[in-house]
Structure 1
Amino acid sequence: MSTKKVRKKILYYLGLTVLSSLINFLMKTVKIRYKNYSTIEKFKSEKQNFVSAFWHGTMLTGWYIHKDTNIAALVSKSKDGDILEKLLGRWGYKVVRGSSSNGGKEALLLLLELAENGYSIAITPDGPKGPPYKMKAGAVITAKTKKIPLILAGISCCKKKVLKSWDNFEVPYPFSIINVVFSEPIWIDSKLNYEETNKLITDCEIKLNKLRKEASKLCSE
């Protein structure tokens, strides 16, 4: 490998470290207000693993609230995914790399294996490329297959920068308030057929969007 390529690679990984450190510091400054958090506390105390689903645009908070627990996350194989892998490593995650377009089947199988071994799973069901706020099957299928509860998390940053990206990515301002509203646990019958499972996915999508709007309304209180 040439000296130029080595230098470029070193700078790239230094950049990953600096950026993940900045994000980590930012999230430590925010105040997170929870609604319906008791179920999450109960599951964690009982060591009951679960699937947590939140929209891609709110993933910084969605991942942060579960840090340092026995949890795994699916991250794309893109360069952005490299940053997230570094960040999630700081937060104690088991990171699985893949997406629906690149290594998705293998990644899903690994997530299922981790769930079988007691890991909770954090999923952005509209990722990695959208459309935004439209739920794909991964969260429901994981919960259904492994017979563990699915919990939806509606998230809204009260003061934030919304990036011009497909997912309306939210970057909270330092020391801002973030509202997180959890659903009741959803236990999915493993015997549901294809049509019933698809209906449940749609119902979860509607519910998650309602939770997101509820979290947003709490910012005015």
Structure 2
Amino acid sequence: MKDILQSPFMQDLIAGTLVGYLKFCYKTTRWTIEGQAPVEAIWDGKGPVVLMFWHGRLHLGHASWPRDRGQPVCVLASMSKSGEVSMKINTRFGYHSIRGSSAKKSDPTKQKGGAQAFRELIRWIRGDRDTGGRCVAMTPDGPRGPSRVMTEGSLKLSQMSGAPLVVLGQSTKNYMEFKTWDRMRIPLPFSRGAMVWGVLPAIPADTDETAMEALRLQAEQALTGVTDRADEILGLVPQGAS
């Protein structure tokens, strides 16, 4: 059974089914949006940008970034078997994928496939003269957690590219929640939804280790803040407090 589930055919089937379901949910959700004006300025500026949302809200992220206006998006997919499905899902949503694991707090290159993946992310986010910068979307507590604890990979990417950090909190009133490390949520259709944006400046190139830790905590708190705010808009108890 395991071999069947990991076959290319089944992975395509799972990815296609999930993408179809999520698109249906997005279209039937009535969204309330906060804090989008600064992000619209980033879209219009066509520069590099790092987008972050917590791993537990991964299946809401595809509803956020406009393909017809925002920068082209690349997603970091893990080297695991589940990463194959994630890559197929990203492709169906029109996103580029780079395989590798999220960066460790101490060194963004010390993980499976990390060094090569990080170099590819840098090349991607910088873009070129014709297209301008691009977007890298990351779940900075993935793929293994702990939940809502940010690694330094996103910040290092910002530091090396000059890209601002965009934090995104999303929630839906109706959802399924799994008993996983990240308490993964899958939206249900015909619901109310909330999308809350925040923008942090690019990490300065000369940031030392002490300052980087302070900025990491600031970004972690900002991402948790917009995520909790999205829950509050819908009358939900913030996930971190429940």
Q: TM-score, normalised by structure 1?
A: 0.89
Unmatched 5+ residue regions in structure 2? 103-110, 128-132, 237-242
Task: Select which of 170, 177, 188 maps to 2:192.
Answer: 177
Once the two structures are superposed, residues 50-79 of structure 1 have per-residue CA deviations (whole angstroms, 9 ceiling, x without a partner) of: 111110011122233115241111011223
Which amino acid letter does the alignment assign opposite residue 30 of structure 2?
K
Residue 32 of structure 1: how far off its partner (Å)? 2.5
Tell me if the contact between 2:11 and 2:85 (Cα under 8 Å) persists in the aligned partners.
no
Partner-residue secondary structure (3-state), 1:183 = strand
Supply the distance in 2 between the matched residues of 1:192 and 1:140 (Cα, whole angstroms): 10
Q: TM-score, normalised by structure 2?
A: 0.82
What is the aligned partner in structure 2 of residue 34 from structure 1? 33
User: Is residue 2:58 matched to residue 1:59?
Assistant: yes
What is the aligned partner in structure 1 of residue 229 from structure 2? 214
Which amino acid letter does the alignment assign opposite residue 119 of structure 2?
L
- Which one has a larger percent helix, Structure 1 or Structure 2? 1
Residue 159 of structure 1: how far off its partner (Å)? 1.5
Residue 12 of structure 1: how far off its partner (Å)? 4.2
The 10-residue stretch of structure 1 (122-131 or 59-68) with the greater mean CA deviation from structure 2: 59-68
The 10-residue stretch of structure 1 (143-152 or 23-32) with the greater mean CA deviation from structure 2: 23-32
What is the aligned partner in structure 2 of residue 74 from structure 1? 76
What is the aligned partner in structure 1 of residue 17 from structure 2? 18
Counting matched residue pairs gives 216
Residue 11 of structure 1: how far off its partner (Å)? 4.1
Task: Select which of 158, 165, 188 maps to 1:143.
Answer: 158
Backbone CA RMSD of aligned residues: 2.1
Change (3 A) 1:42 1:78: same
Change (3 A) 1:89 1:11: closer
Change (3 A) 1:184 1:19: closer
Tell me if the contact between 1:20 and 1:86 (Cα under 8 Å) persists in the aligned partners.
no
Which amino acid letter does the alignment assign opposite residue 94 of structure 2?
G
What is the aligned partner in structure 1 of residue 106 from structure 2? none
Unmatched 5+ residue regions in structure 1? none
Once the two structures are superposed, residues 63-104 of structure 1 have per-residue CA deviations (whole angstroms, 9 ceiling, x without a partner) of: 331152411110112232222212211221111111144212
